[in-house]
Amino acid sequence: MALKPTERAPRAEPRPEPFAATDGPAEITLAFDDNRLAQLVFGHYDQNIAKIERRLGVAATANGNHIVIRGPNEAAEHARRVFENLYERVKAGQPATLGDVDGAIQEGVVQGNLFLRESLRDPLREAEAPRGAFDQVTTRKRGSVRARNAAQDLYLRLLKQYELVFAEGPAGTGKTWLAVGHAVQLLERGVVERIILSRPAVEAGERLGFLPGDMREKVDPYLRPIFDALHDFMDGRMVERGMQTGMIEVAPLAFMRGRTLTNAAVLLDEAQNATSMQMKMFLTRLGEGSRMIVTGDPTQTDLPPGQRSGLSEAIGLCAGLEGVGHVVFKEADVVRHDLVRRIVGAYEASARRTREGTPTT
């Protein structure tokens, strides 16, 4: 049918194709609205740009509020998403540190996977497609804290979905920090009435002997990491007031027996140092209206030789039960420092060689 003189043919909208079949060279130019925010995105002495170049294998040149990205098509598109994500962060008043750059790179991978080829677009596969942005936890002091990788994103979604969540993995993956942030969020929203933080009082390969002071002073060295995370998400005065009124309780695992924890966010940290009996005792404390989070690193057990860790046993017994979530962090999910990631990788490689009987170099 011919169009009338006053009619125009509909214009086809361009479809995003970040994962084209041919990965040829590309050049992408971005222009940010605010020159000051653009400088925050680029980082001090363009350190954020340099990290993105190293990680993605592209070349990026900044000039004022403009940046030109050159490289393979897929890598250039990935870099574009990273810079746009960082700009949205600083626009919302959040920092753009080197760690945030790592998170934006991981998030860019997920966003790139959203652009699936037509052969993959069917109702069964569509439900499995990853979402465009990582989940986040929001508190009054920290604002919105977004996950930095897919494992943290899964962790936050499981915390919102299940009443009991196990998180295992190496140090520096954010297991405890995000769990405390989620607990503070539940408290501020009125979902729970109190926060209970616990940890086994086991020394890391040392015996400190008698510790002076009252009960809080005795357990403070063991629970200091939880205190640090708590102060990250709450004002110091609110923390002190909460501990005086019982809204925030910090106690060693041994003091949990016989209690019923209702309407509370309960966190057990360093759970790999809990025995089988202690873990069973702790898990059965869960009361109505409560959420429970258990975190630990099975490779760093400080229990006496020959004593089985209750964390691994509990995960094996409970992970498949209805209402229980389980997330495993890997070496690649370490967000504390790049060197920490390499250190964890070196220890894991040594452990694999030991299991396989290969001499350690």
User: Looking at the domain assignment, is residue 320 inside a domain?
Assistant: yes
Instruction: Indicate whether 94 and 33 sit together in one domain.
Output: yes
Lowest-confidence segment of 82-86, 264-268, 289-293, 339-343 by average pLDDT: 339-343
pLDDT at 14: 38
Residues 6+ apart with CB under 8 A from 281: 256, 257
Instruction: Indicate whether 182 and 287 sit together in one domain.
Output: yes
Predicted TM-score (pTM) above 0.95: no
145 phi and psi angles, rounded to 5 deg:
-115, 115
Q: Which domain holds residue 68?
A: 25-119
Q: The tokens 């025995």 sit on which residue?
A: 275
Instruction: Indicate whether 294 and 352 sit together in one domain.
Output: yes
Q: Dump pLDDT digits (tens) for 173-191.
A: 889 999 999 999 999 999 9
Q: Which helix (H) or strand (E) holds 325?
A: strand 324-328
Instruction: Indicate whether 73 and 172 sit together in one domain.
Output: no
Q: How many CB atoms lie within 10 A of CB 225?
A: 14
Residues 299 and 288: their CA atoms lie apart, in Å, by 33
Q: Dump pLDDT digits (tens) for 36-62.
A: 988 999 988 888 898 899 888 899 999
Lowest-confidence segment of 19-23, 133-137, 238-242 by average pLDDT: 19-23
Find the mean pLDDT for residues 342-360.
74
Q: Dump pLDDT digits (tens) for 60-111.
A: 999 988 999 999 988 888 899 889 888 888 888 878 888 788 878 877 776 6
Instruction: Indicate whether 98 and 192 sit together in one domain.
Output: no
Instruction: Indicate whether 113 and 155 sit together in one domain.
Output: no
Q: Above 50 in pLDDT, residue 115?
A: no
Domain endpoint, select from 119, 140, 160: 119
Q: Which helix (H) or strand (E) holds 145?
A: strand 143-146
Instruction: Indicate whether 111 and 195 sit together in one domain.
Output: no
* CATH number for position 180: 3.40.50.300
User: Looking at the domain assignment, is residue 310 inside a domain?
Assistant: yes
How many folded domains does the chain comprise?
A: 2
